[in-house]
Structure 1
């Protein structure tokens, strides 16, 4: 990677971020213009601040000491200069305040909108992306990186912009007063700029790696907390702590290294500022003695010179923050620019009210280009209102059926149609709004039970409707047994509920949606016998009159379906009613007999005693 030579090149991420965020700023053009006006006005006040003192030294002091008289009384001129100085300081403070508040409001509004869009975008990205990404890192980008941009916009970018404007103004005034002395005074600036560029490149690279490492830390901690039950059960605390500590120590060392570089640059600026002041003091005094400039002019030079070096000093001070902001912004923009593989076609239409007749024609699918086919030329038709169970060994593509029906993925080739409509010709939102989905691990958010049941209903629902859905799911009795009934707050991921209770809340949620198509993906997996029976009964009540696709290893549950598909090697190897397949004595019959035998004994189908299965 080539090394940059200037500010825009040393922090290319900032330019890319600003370009990407420009559409978000357009609605705030008026406030931005007002804030910029305030900043320019504050800069002009900053330029004017030393001038009252110049008039005091050049006009008031000599007159009071018996020098040449002025048109105004010395005391009057002194009062005017003091009043002017006070007015300049007050106006500078007012304009600076207005500019800071204005930019802060715009920055916060823009980045709040960015965070909201980023959250929506993350939810819309395809499952293939989420399979590659780490949840903790995505959370870090959504919360930490956007927060870093918010903070930097006010605490670093705005002061630096103001300082640059002051720098340009003061250099112009100094050149106007005495260009030769100005060039001598500014001679250390090229050295300062060169030093700052070299340090910024290193700080930027360190900050970029540090943000990436912090994303990894967030991912590790999120994954550990999400799986804390298994972590503790398997005694993995020490191993995971070592992994986390190693990354944490790397992050600490990178942070210290960045601080050293930033502090070294700041001190270099202080030294070169002192050199510039010494040059001005020496040659400026000679100019005063030779009568080329007045003592007030020299005062302006010294005052301006201290302010002129301030942007470079602040660049050194804020360079680490700007570098971190660039790294954070690049990570945010990279997510915003991520394109969903599964998305609406340009000519997609909203799905009409569906009956639920499903046809798969020669469907082929693989999860990666170099992976074996998960489904290999599958064709099947299911009439509206009927139920089909898809079963077979693990890893043969049963759940892929559910993902394809929901358009979480698109097939590599072949078509899937509902009521004759190719799924890719329908908008994703309108399709999914007519499909009810019950997963093995249902989504339970922190909130009340009523809120969780109403989640995704797509319309306003009454407490009576929520209770009716819960009764259909056989959930009403255990809900009413909770401390506050339907208003009981459940923990994150439903940790305060049993597996069967979580599943019945999910069933009630789908019942409330009233969809013509149901997809049930291992809905009874991991449940005890009593919960399994309750959930199974609720599922079949829910399935009445609906087209139902049931993905399951539980052949007792599959036996209640109108039809069973046995999948193996990416193909359908058996297809028929449960009774026909049992009479045929094929794979379904063999697996069913084995499960019945396992259920009668002390050992489960997975080979673990039921009492200790995790």
Structure 2
């Protein structure tokens, strides 16, 4: 994203807090004015107190000096506190907008972007903006005001000598411009490397058991070292540019200072200068060197912040999940009609599903079977509109899915996925999740009982108030699956999707939960993906998929008589070794 677009956009976040921004600006102007006053006071101090021995000056100069220092301290506090307040509010709002965007992005975005790199934008990138929006902005504004004050003072004391100093201005500007481009290039590369570091760290932490069992420690260490070395190399290039640019600028400024001193001591700087004039001029000139040094150094922080802001704004500009529907629905009947539907994933050429047609009557149980990769899970992910199909139609109660408001459509569906997702919350919080959060404890317990989860939940250290850890790490696979089933039971939606819902259970637990699922599936439309054909033999209809196409459908007995794909799957699964 071009810099000319980043600055105004970031400024809009800042301008929202213009009251505190104004307070900080007053503090900065006052601080710079007080600093200028401290330099100017050298003139009456030397000329009036030391040279002329003026009694009034001798008496009141110390008082003025103390007053200026007090005023400087007050204005310094206002500028620092005000800018910190604004900056922290900006980071708060940016982070809030980024997280809100995460919740709006379509599933296809997360298919194309690694979780680690996406998360880095919420953590590392916003931290970079924080650096640019706090100390960096304070230094830029405050030190710029100080330079302006010192410049005015130098021209007021001796304009011709001041012109000598500012001959070096264009040279300094050229160096700063060149350095800025380098800083921005290095910052972008460093942020990409940090995203890679976050990504590989997340993979290792999540899959640490696989890493250990398959001896992947050395491979992962080498991968991390390569990325980490790239980050270090870019950091050093950035540090080298900073370290080289500061002394160069200081040397150029020092040349100007030496010229001023040489001219001043020869009394050729536009007329005779008093000791006070010379001290004031030289003090203002030397006072500019520290602000110039800080402005050059802080450029690295600003460029990193702008690079981070550009990446964040690109994320915020990603198109949100499409929600064109206006039709509301309280509770669906559960009639589903799929007609000549075709689907391919975004940015791909090959169709994953082709010419799919079938009907589901309200209250029916329809099972989907087929070999891995045949498109079963993809097909059922279209019903909650995790993806939008390209051709054909999918209708719910006679209306296209896209006609319904997205929230209303998904309110009709409960999902028990083969990859159970639990949150770092209590057991009760995971069962009564999201819109179910208002459920009372007795209702939650009833859902757990029907999912055959109540007994093991009661045995946990704090029962229903036990924290389950990240993604339910404290629970076994079967326990996590039963909590997911309890969540679906509590929602009591008219449509239920079971994607390998009992795959992580042992035979005894599966039999127990099948009883609960039979109660759950009664009087509601149920779509089941099952690997174990024994669990779906009583389904009202079985749909067989092969390589993205619907090749057979019917009851268990009908499909067995056809001696086609389903019969082959059944014979393979139930064949006994001879």
Question: In the TM superposition, what whole-angstrom CA distance separates every residue of 1:569-612 from its partner, at most 9, and x where no partner exists?
Answer: 32221112223223333322331232122xx559xxxxxxxxxx
Structure 2 partner of 1:565: 543
Cα separation, partners in 2 of 1:358 and 1:58, compared to 1, 3 Å: same
Structure 2 partner of 1:24: 13
Comparing 141-150 with 201-210, which one deviates more in the overlay? 201-210
Q: 1:130 aligns with which of 105, 110, 113?
A: 110
Kindly tell me the number of residue pairs found equivalent between the two proteins.
Answer: 578
1:420 aligns with 2:398: yes
1:200 aligns with 2:168: no
Q: CA RMSD in A?
A: 2.1
Shift of 1:221: 1.0
Alpha-carbon distance in structure 1 between the residues aligned to 2:167 and 2:284: 14
Q: 2:316 aligns with which of 321, 336, 342?
A: 336
Shift of 1:192: 2.3
Shift of 1:23: 4.2
Alpha-carbon distance in structure 1 between the residues aligned to 2:45 and 2:175: 39
Structure 2 partner of 1:482: 460
Alpha-carbon distance in structure 2 between the residues aligned to 1:511 and 1:282: 89
Structure 2 partner of 1:35: 24
1:399 aligns with 2:377: yes
Cα separation, partners in 2 of 1:112 and 1:61, compared to 1, 3 Å: same
Cα separation, partners in 2 of 1:580 and 1:458, compared to 1, 3 Å: same
Alpha-carbon distance in structure 1 between the residues aligned to 2:133 and 2:13: 14
Q: 1:62 aligns with which of 38, 51, 69?
A: 51
Structure 1 partner of 2:339: 361
Give the secondary-structure state (helix, strand or coil) at the position aligned to 1:564.
Answer: strand
1:297 aligns with 2:277: yes
Structure 1 partner of 2:566: 588
The answer to whether the 8 A contact 1:107-1:153 is kept is yes
Cα separation, partners in 2 of 1:251 and 1:436, compared to 1, 3 Å: same
1:52 aligns with 2:41: yes
Q: 1:453 aligns with which of 421, 428, 431?
A: 431
Cα separation, partners in 2 of 1:235 and 1:532, compared to 1, 3 Å: farther
Q: 1:386 aligns with which of 347, 364, 372?
A: 364
Question: In the TM superposition, what whole-angstrom CA distance separates every residue of 1:469-488 from its partner, at most 9, and x where no partner exists?
Answer: 10111100111111221122
The answer to whether the 8 A contact 1:288-1:295 is kept is no
Structure 2 partner of 1:150: 130
1:278 aligns with 2:258: yes
Q: 2:199 aligns with which of 219, 224, 240?
A: 219
The answer to whether the 8 A contact 2:414-2:491 is kept is yes
Give the secondary-structure state (helix, strand or coil) at the position aligned to 2:17.
Answer: helix
The answer to whether the 8 A contact 1:220-1:244 is kept is yes
Question: In the TM superposition, what whole-angstrom CA distance separates every residue of 1:375-403 from its partner, at most 9, and x where no partner exists?
Answer: 11212221222211111111121111221
Comparing 321-330 with 578-587, which one deviates more in the overlay? 578-587
Alpha-carbon distance in structure 2 between the residues aligned to 1:288 and 1:131: 73
The answer to whether the 8 A contact 1:480-1:486 is kept is yes
Comparing 399-408 with 270-279, which one deviates more in the overlay? 270-279
Shift of 1:526: 4.2
Structure 2 partner of 1:517: 495
Question: In the TM superposition, what whole-angstrom CA distance separates every residue of 1:206-235 from its partner, at most 9, and x where no partner exists?
Answer: 221111111111111111211112111111
Shift of 1:14: 5.5
Structure 2 partner of 1:71: none
Cα separation, partners in 2 of 1:414 and 1:19, compared to 1, 3 Å: farther
Comparing 140-149 with 54-63, which one deviates more in the overlay? 54-63
Shift of 1:283: 1.6
Give the secondary-structure state (helix, strand or coil) at the position aligned to 1:496.
Answer: coil
The answer to whether the 8 A contact 1:118-1:142 is kept is yes
Give the secondary-structure state (helix, strand or coil) at the position aligned to 1:93.
Answer: helix
The answer to whether the 8 A contact 1:192-1:312 is kept is no
Alpha-carbon distance in structure 2 between the residues aligned to 1:292 and 1:458: 85
Cα separation, partners in 2 of 1:379 and 1:194, compared to 1, 3 Å: same
TM-score, normalization: structure 1? 0.89
Unaligned runs of 5+ in 1: 1-11, 65-73, 603-614
Q: 2:293 aligns with which of 306, 313, 317?
A: 313
Alpha-carbon distance in structure 2 between the residues aligned to 1:148 and 1:167: 26
Cα separation, partners in 2 of 1:468 and 1:24, compared to 1, 3 Å: farther
Shift of 1:19: 2.6
Q: 2:67 aligns with which of 57, 68, 87?
A: 87
Alpha-carbon distance in structure 1 between the residues aligned to 2:13 and 2:433: 30
Comparing 446-455 with 363-372, which one deviates more in the overlay? 363-372
Question: In the TM superposition, what whole-angstrom CA distance separates every residue of 1:237-288 from its partner, at most 9, and x where no partner exists?
Answer: 1111111111112211221221111111112122223222212222223348
Structure 1 partner of 2:146: 166
1:433 aligns with 2:433: no
Give the secondary-structure state (helix, strand or coil) at the position aligned to 2:339.
Answer: strand
Question: In the TM superposition, what whole-angstrom CA distance separates every residue of 1:443-498 from its partner, at most 9, and x where no partner exists?
Answer: 11222211111112444121111111101111001111112211222221212211
The answer to whether the 8 A contact 1:13-1:329 is kept is no
Shift of 1:549: 1.2
Alpha-carbon distance in structure 2 between the residues aligned to 1:454 and 1:475: 14
Q: 1:348 aligns with which of 315, 326, 336?
A: 326
The answer to whether the 8 A contact 1:582-1:588 is kept is yes
Cα separation, partners in 2 of 1:526 and 1:152, compared to 1, 3 Å: same
Give the secondary-structure state (helix, strand or coil) at the position aligned to 1:309.
Answer: helix
Cα separation, partners in 2 of 1:148 and 1:213, compared to 1, 3 Å: same
Shift of 1:369: 4.7
Question: In the TM superposition, what whole-angstrom CA distance separates every residue of 1:539-582 from its partner, at most 9, and x where no partner exists?
Answer: 33222222111122221122232211111232221112223223
Alpha-carbon distance in structure 2 between the residues aligned to 1:311 and 1:348: 58
